[in-house]
């Protein structure tokens, strides 16, 4: 049953990827996690996660609520640092360099690994200021013209330019939910990250806005490595090349999205994607 559905979904949106090889050469690995454990106080939330994220691919993290997918996502750009009582062990590397190396600046990591959140969270400032904030604090542009260019490019890439080009001074919070989320994506790509983390970016949006964002993710795949957490399995099937299934703080299995959805190796994955729990 699910195989047919998957096939349908595949035809609905362009085939996202070239066929994946199970053993990717090391050079293709953008980020990798080894034995990542996260403790909230005395409570272990992630029990040793090993996963590779390949360059220019979309990796979907799926699993029931509370399984640790968002926690894992936030380990990748050290957003967990700001949470009181949260400890991360194991290693996360970006281009082979340990992200948690104390010598490394967390500000730099977050500039290279951008993030889009579940709820659209534009700053209560103008659309222009929202996008230009990142380049400005990182000093990426030399003058106003360059900054204008970055803002335009980012908004174009986020598919928002045509809708907002005449009201860049209007507050970002005045946009619709879907536009706000695309504004947040524009804000993230304005600092030219290498990886973009998306934490259920469509869960607060209606189907039309969701379709917009999904198309956008497909576009962005060319330039960025994307990790997306989603509760919506159709979405995972539509946008990702590979999928990782989390359950109760464990990574149950990782594989090509097609394989995970049609021929999962683990009973729990099978049960989850056929809707028996979660």
Partner 1 sequence: MTDSLQITGAGTSLHTTPAAQRRLRRRYAAERRFKALGLFAVLFGLAMLAFLLTTIVSQGYRAFIQTHVSLEVYLDPEVIDPRGTADPRDLARADYQSLAENALYGLFPAVEASAERRALRGMLSQGAGLELRRRIQNDPELVGTTLELQLLVSGSVDQLNKGVFDLESGRRLPVSDEQIGWFRELEAQDRISAPFNWGLFTRADSREPELAGLAGALQGSLYLMIVTFVLSFPLGIGAAIYLEEFAPKNRLTDLIEVNINNLAAVPSIVFGLLGLAVFIQVFGLPRSAPLVGGMVLALMTLPTIIIATRASLKAVPPSIREAALGIGASRIQTIFHHVLPLAMPGILTGAIIGLAQALGETAPLLMVGMNAFVTSVGDSMTSPATALPTQVYMWADSPQRGFVERTSAAIMVLLGFLIVMNALAVFLRRRFERRW
Binding site for partner 1 (CB under 8 A): 77, 79, 82, 84, 107-111, 114-117, 119, 121-124, 133-134, 137-138, 173, 184, 187-188, 190-191
> Closest distance between partner 1 and the C-beta of residue 182, in Å?
14
Both tokens of 70, joined, read 């968002």
Q: Tell me whether residue 63 or residue 122 sits nearer to partner 1 (CB atom).
A: 122
96 Rama sector, left if φ>0, alpha if ψ -120 to 50, beta otherwise: left
> Closest distance between partner 1 and the C-beta of residue 236, in Å?
22
Count of residues making up the chain? 278
Strands (E), 141-214: 195-199
Q: Tell me whether residue 228 or residue 273 sits nearer to partner 1 (CB atom).
A: 228
In angstroms, the Cα distances linking 70 to 73, 208, 224 are 5, 24, 20
Q: Tell me whether residue 47 or residue 112 sits nearer to partner 1 (CB atom).
A: 112
Both tokens of 144, joined, read 């106003």
Instruction: Give the other-Cβ count within 10 Å of 139's Cβ.
Output: 7
Q: Which of 44, 80, 76 is nearest to 61 (CA)?
A: 76
> Closest distance between partner 1 and the C-beta of residue 175, in Å?
12
Both tokens of 93, joined, read 């590397």
Q: Tell me whether residue 180 or residue 254 sits nearer to partner 1 (CB atom).
A: 180
Strands 97-98 and 86-94: antiparallel
Q: Tell me whether residue 199 or residue 258 sits nearer to partner 1 (CB atom).
A: 199
> Closest distance between partner 1 and the C-beta of residue 99, in Å?
13
């Amino acid at each position: 049953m699910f195989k047919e559905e998957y096939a349908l979904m595949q035809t609905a949106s362009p085939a996202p990827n070239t066929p994946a090889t199970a053993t990717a050469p090391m050079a293709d690995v953008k980020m990798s996690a080894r034995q990542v454990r996260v403790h909230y106080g005395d409570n272990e939330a992630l029990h040793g996660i090993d996963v590779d994220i390949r360059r220019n691919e979309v990796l979907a993290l799926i699993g029931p609520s509370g399984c640790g997918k968002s926690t894992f996502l936030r380990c990748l750009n050290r957003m967990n640092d700001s949470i009181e009582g949260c400890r991360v062990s194991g290693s996360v590397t970006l281009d082979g360099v340990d992200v948690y190396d104390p010598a490394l600046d967390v500000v730099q990591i977050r500039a290279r690994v951008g993030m889009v959140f579940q709820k659209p969270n534009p700053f209560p400032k103008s659309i222009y200021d929202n996008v230009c904030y990142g380049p400005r604090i990182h000093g990426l542009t030399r003058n106003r013209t360059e900054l204008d260019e970055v803002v335009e490019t980012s908004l174009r890439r986020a598919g928002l330019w045509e809708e907002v080009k005449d009201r860049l001074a209007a507050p970002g919070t005045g946009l619709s939910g879907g536009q706000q989320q695309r504004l947040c994506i524009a804000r993230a790509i304005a600092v030219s990250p290498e990886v973009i983390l998306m934490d259920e970016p469509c869960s607060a949006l209606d189907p039309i806005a969701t379709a917009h964002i999904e198309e956008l993710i497909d576009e962005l795949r060319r330039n960025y490595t994307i990790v997306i957490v989603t509760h919506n399995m159709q979405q995972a099937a539509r946008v990702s090349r590979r999928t990782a299934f989390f359950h109760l703080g464990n990574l149950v299995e990782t594989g090509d999205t097609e394989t995970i959805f049609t021929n999962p190796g683990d009973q729990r994955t099978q049960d989850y994607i056929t809707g028996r729990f979660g």
